[in-house]
Amino acid sequence: MILRTTPGTGDILSVIREQIAPVLPARIRQAVLSMPADVLSQLEEIRLRLWRPLQILYGGKDGFLSLQGKVTAAPDAGCLLTEEDLTQALNLMSGSSLYALEEELRRGYLTIQGGHRVGIAGRTLLDGAGKVRGMKEIAAFNIRIARDVKHAGEGVAHLLIDSAAYRLHNTLLISPPQCGKTTLLRDLARKISQGALHPKIAGQKVGIVDERSEIAASWHGSPQHDVGPRTDVLDACPKAEGMAMMIRSMSPQVLVTDEIGRAEDGQALLEAIHAGVTVITTAHGFGMHEVRTRPLLRQLFELGAFSRYIVLSRRRGPCTIEGVYDRTGDQIQTRGDVG
């Protein structure tokens, strides 16, 4: 499998033409490609919902798209999606082989070429234990455009460094959804792997446990984003199990994963730290109050698992820094922007 890296913003139009448009039904494809270039270049999501208007998210805004490619705030002016549209989309995304996507459908999303993630909603199928075993009667797709933003971590990279020992802090990035924490996490992983954080810190072996295929955006096992020359990726694997597997099999110096939340995630993270592995991860939240009140995060805080907490928002665009905190929760930097 040849490594492909997703082009940056300057090449986003070719990404949409070559990787997104081919999985869209013909009439929806034409509508998307007919959008104004300034909207298309900022495209973040395309949402297809049965019997509802075609919605797009771009540049932090949302709108509805007509068949002529006109963006409007009026839902009634948007193109209405039919059963045939959604069936075509699923066939195009799956290569007409739903069996091959059975596991991804169970998780509620799939990854297409280029590392773009497609969320799926509809009627779930349960097994005898009441757990989701699949999905049928799919009624919605959310196509999220994967962007590999180089240098996203420039303004925050120095905060990860313990300048007294020239080593990396165990770090937790905290933010609400769609504030750039995964983009930042990816760029930090790349810089650590390249040895680009600090002249006195050599490139490190990085292990990425990518449960939702969002950090490396792997497709058929191959990262579609540039995650660095010393980086190994464990794709679509539960975080807790994946962290243990990565340490056993690939001996990383730095472990990177996204969105910790379950008790087993915390236990695996602590075991990694006790094994001498540096951990950099993320959690959903709006600030340090969640760290102090949410059971898992509070436990990790009280045990001193992290020596850096970085809170992000989208107040001034993705990756806006709202605050940086040390192991004890004391603020060491106030608002600013990454990069």
DSSP string, 165-223: TTEEPPEEEEE-TTSSHHHHHHHHHHHHHHT-SBTTB----EEEEETTS-SS--BTTB-
Closest listed residue to residue 140, CA positions, set 113, 116, 108 = 108
Domains: count for the chain: 2
Final residue before a domain boundary, out of 92, 111, 144 = 144
In-domain check, residue 319? yes
Same domain, 66 and 185: no
Same domain, 126 and 25: yes
CA–CA distances in Å: residue 334 to residues 72, 96, 312, 322: 38, 51, 11, 6
As a whole number of Å, the CA-based R_g of the chain is: 21
Closest listed residue to residue 291, CA positions, set 302, 307, 275, 277 = 302
Q: Is 288 helix (H, G, I), strand (E, B) or coil?
A: helix
Same domain, 132 and 202: no
314-317 long-range CB contacts below 8 Å, 24 or more apart? Answer: 314/60, 314/176, 314/178, 314/179, 314/180, 317/60
Q: Which pLDDT tens digits describe the chain residue by residue (339 residues)? A: 233 334 444 488 899 999 999 999 999 999 999 999 999 999 999 999 999 999 999 988 999 999 999 999 999 999 999 999 999 999 999 875 666 677 777 888 888 888 899 999 999 888 888 888 878 889 999 999 988 777 777 778 888 999 888 899 999 999 998 788 888 999 999 999 999 988 999 999 999 999 988 899 888 888 988 999 999 999 989 999 999 999 999 999 999 999 999 999 999 999 999 999 999 999 999 999 999 999 999 999 999 999 999 999 888 877 888 999 999 999 987 665 444
Same domain, 187 and 123: no
Distance separating alpha carbons of residues 227 and 206, to the nearest angstrom: 9
Same domain, 109 and 163: no
> CA triplet 330, 327, 189: central angle to 5 degrees?
115
pTM given for the model: 0.80
Residues 6+ apart with CB under 8 A from 69: 30, 31, 32, 33, 34, 35, 36
* Residues of the domain holding 244: 157-337
